[in-house]
Structure formats: C-alpha cells, structure tokens
Amino acid sequence: MMPFLDRPLHHPKIVVKDTVQQLAQHVAGIFAEAITDNPSIVLGLATGQSPVGTYQELVDWHRRRGLDFSRVTSFNLDEYVGLAADHPQSFRYFMQQQLFDPTNIDPDRTHVPDGTHDDLSEHARQYERAIERAGGIDLQLLGIGTNGHIGFNEPGSPPESRTRVISLSEQTIAANAPYFPSIHQVPRRAITMGIGTILEARQIVMIALGSNKAAAVAEAVAGPVSPSCPASCLRTHANVTVVLDHEAAAGL
Ligand code: F6R
C-alpha cells in the first residue's frame, strides 16, 4: 500500500438522521444489502453503544425477512485484555448477545480477538493472517471515541499500525467505566486491529451518536489528517460513509 503521507485525500459521505432508530435502519440497510449481494461477505464489526440499534435491526432483518448470515464471516475490531468470552463486559459476550446468537451466523466464522490468549503478540499476528486468509474485510463498521479513536487505536497510533496490544487512554477508561462495577475494574489494555488494518477494508461505515461525539466527528471530517485524531485517517480511504444524529453532526 502507498505510504500514508502520499495518499490522496477524500471526503467521506455524510448522512445525518433525525432519530437513533432511523440511523440504525439506514446502517442496517447498508449491511443487509451488502450481505444479500454477497452472502459470503467478510464483515468487520464494532461493539459499544453506537451499533446496538443497527444489530437489533439486522436481527429483525434475519427474523422477518430471512436475511441469511450462514455464509458471512466476521472479524471484530477489538477486545479487552484479560476478559474471557463469558465475562459480561467482554466484546465477545456483547457480540454473542447482540448479533451472533440471535442470527444463523456460523460460530466458526465469527472472530473476536481473545484477550486471554497466553501469547497476545502471536495471537495478534494470527488475527491479521486470518483476515488475509478470508480475503480481507469487505465492509467495516466503526464507532468513534470522544478522543477520535477508531477500534482502540488511541490518539498517536501510527496510521500504518496492525493488530496489536495497546494501553487504553485515561479518557477511554473513564468513558467505559459506567459499564463496570468501578473504574478500577476497567481493563487497562486491549487488543485492537490497527489503523492500517481498518484502512484495508473495501468499504467503511462509521456511526456517531450524541453531542459528546461532535468535537471528535468535526476533527475527523474537517480537521487535519493526523494521528492525533485517528478517525481523520479515514479520509485517506475512498469509500467511507459517516452516519450521524444531529447532535453528533453539530460541529460540521
Ligand atoms: C468498539 C470500538 C470503539 C467504539 C468507540 C465508541 O469495538 O472499537 O472504537 O466504537 O469507543 O464507543 P460507543 O459506541 O460505546 O460510544
């Protein structure tokens, strides 16, 4: 791939929706159409609040309209280090609840990094190889952190970074603390696809909801392209759609 600094810049397509449900329906529509067009599609998936409605809509597509996940392959962006698959705050657990268990996706085709692996660096390399073997990611779903992170690529992450173990920023730990009994229980490290890994997806859809994302969205879409806002690196990709509610779009 061309060195990061030499890459041409693009304008992401911006879609602003009036309600969270309309936003979820729009994003689910993009995914449902892509799965219908290519039943063996390779999806990149995100966890967190932003995609919850989208997953509900996709489950609805499966139940009511027979959307078939049986040949879909998925790779999640990230996982906390130290949380096992059955830990209620693990991203594997989240995915099982939100999308995998309620659809007919083949469990063997779902991939979430294993935060309990005893050799995380080797596991990260294996994860990259598994994505490659699957033919690369066709359609990647993203959220954005209040600090502009994508996956768990915190500000300062190299644009060419690959799947690896990272230390979470204090801002990210604080943002995720409400989901744990106390801030001290939030893992301080995670394993995440790199920015370079994400940018190799053929198509990217990023969701942002709420006023606390407005500054990060404005910086990502209209600020300088810089590792200090990892989501700004998406502007080196020619096929990115950013789907927002009015609150998240307020800085544009
Ligand atoms: C989740 C992920 C993160 C989140 C981001 C926003 O897999 O990689 O980048 O997308 O932290 O989280 P929410 O959607 O909870 O605001």
Using alpha carbons, select from 248, 192, 201 the residue that is nearest to residue 220.
248
Q: Average the pLDDT over 83-102 and give the result.
A: 98
C-alpha radius of gyration, the chain, whole number: 17
pLDDT at 5: 78
Å from CA of 78 to ligand 1 middle: 9
218-222 CB contacts, 8 Å cutoff, 24+ apart: 218/251, 218/252, 219/148, 220/144, 220/148, 221/12, 221/14, 221/252, 222/251, 222/252
| Percent of the chain surpassing pLDDT 90 | 98
Residue 170: count of CB within 10 angstroms of its CB: 11
Q: Is the CB of 197 under 6 A from ligand 1?
A: no
Q: Going by C-beta distance under 8 Å and a sequence separation of 6 or more, which residues neighbour residue 180?
A: 89, 186
Please say if 37 is a catalytic residue: no
3.40.50.1360, 3.40.1670.10, 3.40.640.10, 3.40.47.10: CATH of 10-245: 3.40.50.1360
Q: Is the CB of 154 under 6 A from ligand 1?
A: no
Please say if 6 is a catalytic residue: no
Exposure string of 17-30, with b = 16+ CB inside 10 Å and e = fewer, is: beebeebbbbbbeb
Confidence check: pLDDT of 3 > 90: no
Compute the distance between CA of residue 171 and CA of residue 216 in angstroms, rounded to an integer. 13
13 residue type, one letter: K
Compute the distance between CA of residue 94 and CA of residue 91 in angstroms, rounded to an integer. 5
pLDDT at 4: 82
Binned at pLDDT 50, 70 and 90, residue 84 comes out as very high
pTM score of the predicted model? 0.98
Q: Which of 111, 114, 128, 147 is catalytic?
A: 147
* Per-residue pLDDT tens over the stretch 204-230: 999 999 999 999 999 999 999 999 999
Å from CA of 121 to ligand 1 middle: 22
Å from CA of 2 to ligand 1 middle: 28
Q: What is the CA angle 31-144-100, rounded to 5?
A: 40
The domain limits of the chain are 10-245
* Per-residue pLDDT tens over the stretch 181-207: 999 999 999 999 999 999 999 999 999
pLDDT at 10: 97
* Per-residue pLDDT tens over the stretch 4-51: 878 999 999 999 999 999 999 999 999 999 999 999 999 999 999 999
